Amino acid sequence: EDQVTQSPEALRLQEGESSSLNCSYTVSGLRGLFWYRQDPGKGPEFLFTLYSAGEEKEKERLKATLTKKESFLHITAPKPEDSATYLCAVPAYSGGYQKVTFGTGTKLQVIP
Amino acid sequence: NAGVTQTPKFRILKIGQSMTLQCAQDMNHNYMYWYRQDPGMGLKLIYYSVGAGITDKGEVPNGYNVSRSTTEYFPLRLELAAPSQTSVYFCASSYSRGRDSNQPQHFGDGTRLSIL
């Protein structure tokens, strides 16, 4: 069974204090890994797809990396507006359809 | 550029009442999904559809029904509301070409439902 585990559950940073979020996964036949951002009262917003181990993607202060067992979301010099819950997810083809297994997220709070 | 639109945004129901959560997408995606999100539990798949006229159960389908008569719309029906159905419901859509597809899902902003 596909599993996605995110850590830590919550992270509190001072503005400008860089850190990383972790997403570890077990899936048969990795077809990629998604990162989403979710703001309170909103739906998940797609950030990145990583397709294979060794790949990196960047967007503003966010950089996502992928290995064969885990993915990291590095946040460089975060700002208060980066506060959100970050979700990772892995797609798989099972039972005739594309299913996606989501982690429970890391809630990031950036303090001014 | 609407994407995925869900209505209503909030609703309070009494036990035993019925309602339909609406979902529409304008991206011509073939796949559509319904999830529920409970605190600390992550997103759980209720039902999905791979195209108009084709639907199937996800992980937690009990107490729900769906239909998909067109590509754009995928309503979720609660027939006899129970307190356990208090949750936030998200509709999502994606484009899938089958086994090798890995396109991300795009989400609406959810319906917050309370059953009292």
Q: Do A49 and B31 touch (CB under 8 A)?
A: no
In the block, tokens 């503005």 appear at A15
How far does B13 lie from chain A, in Å, by closest CA? 19
Residue A60 pLDDT > 70: yes
Query: What does the pLDDT average to over B43-48?
Result: 94
Q: Average pLDDT of chain B?
A: 93
pLDDT category of residue A96 using cuts at 50, 70 and 90:
low
> Residue B110: CB partners within 8 Å, gap ≥ 6?
A41, A42, A43, B6, B9, B37, B88, B89, B90
Judged by a CB distance cut-off of 8 A, whether residue A28 touches chain B is no
pLDDT > 90 fraction of chain B, expressed in percent and rounded: 84
pLDDT at residue A109 in the model: 98
Query: What does the pLDDT average to over B11-25?
Result: 97
Q: Do B109 and A41 touch (CB under 8 A)?
A: yes
Look at A28 and A12; give whichever has higher pLDDT. Answer: A12
Judged by a CB distance cut-off of 8 A, whether residue A29 touches chain B is no
Residue B98 pLDDT > 70: no
Judged by a CB distance cut-off of 8 A, whether residue A107 touches chain B is no
pLDDT at residue A28 in the model: 78
Q: Are B68 and B48 in contact (CB under 8 A)?
A: no
Q: Average pLDDT of chain A?
A: 93
Q: Select from B97, B105, B106, B109 the residue whose CB has the most chain A CBs within 10 Å, as the one to mutate to test that interface.
A: B105
